[in-house]
Structure 1
């Protein structure tokens, strides 16, 4: 396994990661951000990666509608995904992460059909470029977040992977450890984000290791299912910012390195 962090797509991020002793960066080019804007800075990012030795471990796109009301694929978002997969190829990034929105006026079965049609196109495009495709288990405009969807969609598409974040399962009342044992063999990328629930409600997303997630068992299961991909630290708290946030990131880096049996 490799340890990295989500950061802004700029050259300075590679220096930041190198200073923390991290192996890769993850870039999230989310809804509202033109994929072409990211593509324009790929040469600069590629040069920074070569200079620092810090790789790009994942590129993802959260939030946009990819499926129209009639169940058809939205061409603009399909092309955005293609653009980001091209960027993955150029940067040597192994994984592109995305989701699929749910159309309430259509049945669950019809939504699954539309999602499969979308991912079939991405899988074919990615395969030609050496890039694997994963769905995210975040609920941000995507319904592919649990075993019910995975059985149908990933069961039908054996090459489709999963980007897993235990905090999303915890906040939704799901058994994240059971999901890992059942589906960890399909994980292509993992987010490391703390989560605290008090009286049944989300309180904060503090640094991993200062939260309620059973990270020891979490890592044991990843070892048990043979996971060898990236562990991407995701600073996500409104409390842990500025100097406190920097200290929190460094704490998580040290904490995860111990769980990865490093020094």
Structure 2
């Protein structure tokens, strides 16, 4: 396994990763992001990757609608997904991560069928570009974040992976170690983010190692499942920003490196 950092698609992110002894960076080109700007910068980003000898491990897109109110694929969003897969290919990035919104006007079965159609297209396109496709286990405009959805959608699409983050499972009231035991073979990418729950409610996302996650057991299950992908540190707390945030990232880097064997 290798450790990296989720950040903005800037030279500073590559420089920071290099200074911290990390092997890769990750980018999220989410619903509020300037997709065109990112696509225009892809070759410059490739130059930064070479300059700092830091790879790009994953590109994701969170929050966007993939389906319209009738459950049909939104072609413009599919086009954006294709473009981001193209960008991943240029950057020698092996993972593209996406979700799928839930349409209340149609049944759960129909939602799953529509999601399967969407991800089938992405998987086929990704094969042409050498890029694997995963769903994210966050509930931001996405219903494919739990075992019921995985059983149907990933059960049918054997080449569809999972980008896993234990904090989402914890905040959703699920057993992250059980999910890892049952689905760890399908993990293509992993986020490292702390989580603290007080009186049943989300309190903060502090640096991993300063939270309630059993990271030793987490890593033990990943090793048992043969996972050899990226561990991407995701700074996510508004309490850990600026100088304190940098110290938090450094703490997590040191903490996670001690768990590698």
- Using the size of structure 1 for normalisation, the TM-score is 0.98
SS at match of 2:245: helix
CA contact (8 A) 1:100 1:115 kept: yes
Contact residue 59 and residue 96 of structure 1 kept, 8 A: yes
Contact 1:135–1:144, Cα closer than 8 Å, also in 2: yes
TM-superposition CA deviations, 1:2-43 (whole Å, max 9, x none): 100101101121111000000000000000224222111111
Is 1:15 the counterpart of 2:15 in the alignment? yes
Q: Could you say which residue in structure 2 is the equivalent of 1:74?
A: 74
TM-score (normalised: structure 2): 0.99
Q: Which runs of 5+ in 1 are unaligned?
A: none
In 2, distance between residues paired with 1:238 and 1:33?
20
The whole-number CA distance in structure 2 between the counterparts of 1:102 and 1:160 is: 18
Count of residue pairs brought into register by the alignment: 261
Superposition map of 1:98-247 within 5 A? 98-247=98-247
Deviations 1:233-256 (A, max 9, x none): 000001001111010000000000
Task: After superposition, give the CA deviation of every residue in 1:122-159 in whole Å (9 maximum; x if it has no partner).
Answer: 00000000000000000000000011000000000000
Runs of 4+ with deviation above 3 angstroms: none
Please, which runs of 5 or more residues in structure 2 have no aligned partner?
none
Secondary structure of the 1:128 match is helix
RMSD over equivalenced CA pairs, Å: 0.6
